[in-house]
A and B are shown apart, each in its own frame.
Chain A
């Protein structure tokens, strides 16, 4: 069990560029979640997967955002045509599937859009 791994840890990009983040969950965890955290705020839910199926997407996830989890293993979160308002910490978490268990979080990817 190596925990939840997120790459890259930091990303600086110019406005209008596309970025992609990767999350590798704990291997036996079937649920994978993406959250966004801005400075001084709690994490906000973006989307989650059960195995390879994307079961829910927040209204925060505009058309510029897309997430995938091929084969129910790692997941990617892509942001197209980045905007300065996308600057945030993007957190990935995984769990074994029931709401009462609690998550294991990764260390996050900090995105800065300049």
Chain B
């Protein structure tokens, strides 16, 4: 069975600092990996995804993530945090045999201090 673990339920950074949100997955087949962002009382918005090919993927709003199979990780980074990045971030996985069903991590709340 697939699973996703996000390390750290809360991360706080200063504006302009590096953002690093950690995600580890478990899957017996090649995974598809996603990062979503959720603002208060809203649905989830896709930031980026990895399916096959290049392991470093770039997404919207300056975010990127690197798929590391040896570490079973898919950490999300952004070089310089902006106040508008404050939100809840979810890592999720799927695979070709899951019917498109996503397995989500518990989420990481990102706070950005001025």
- Residues of A whose CB lies within 8 Å of any CB of B are 4, 6, 31, 33, 40-45, 48, 50, 55-56, 91, 93, 95, 97-108, 110
Contact B107 A45 (CB under 8 A): no
Given A41-B107, A42-B106, verify A98-B43 contact (CB < 8 Å). no
B6 to A: closest C-beta gap in Å? 8
B residues within 8 Å of A by Cβ? 4, 9, 32, 34, 36, 41-46, 49, 51-52, 90, 92, 94-96, 98-107
How far is B99's CA from A97's CA once the two chains are assembled, in angstroms?
8
**Majority SS at the chain B contact face:** loop
* Chain B nearest CB, measured from A13 CB (Å): 19
Q: Report 29 cross-chain contacts, Cβ distance below 8 Å, ordered by A residue.
A: A6-B43, A40-B9, A42-B106, A43-B102, A44-B104, A48-B100, A56-B99, A91-B44, A93-B43, A93-B44, A98-B100, A99-B32, A99-B98, A99-B99, A99-B101, A100-B51, A100-B94, A101-B100, A102-B46, A103-B44, A103-B100, A104-B46, A105-B44, A105-B45, A106-B43, A107-B41, A107-B43, A108-B41, A108-B42
Taken together as a complex, chains A and B put the C-alpha atoms of A33 and B43 apart, in Å, by 13
CB-based contact A48/B46 at 8 Å: no
Q: Is the CB of B95 within 8 A of A43?
A: no
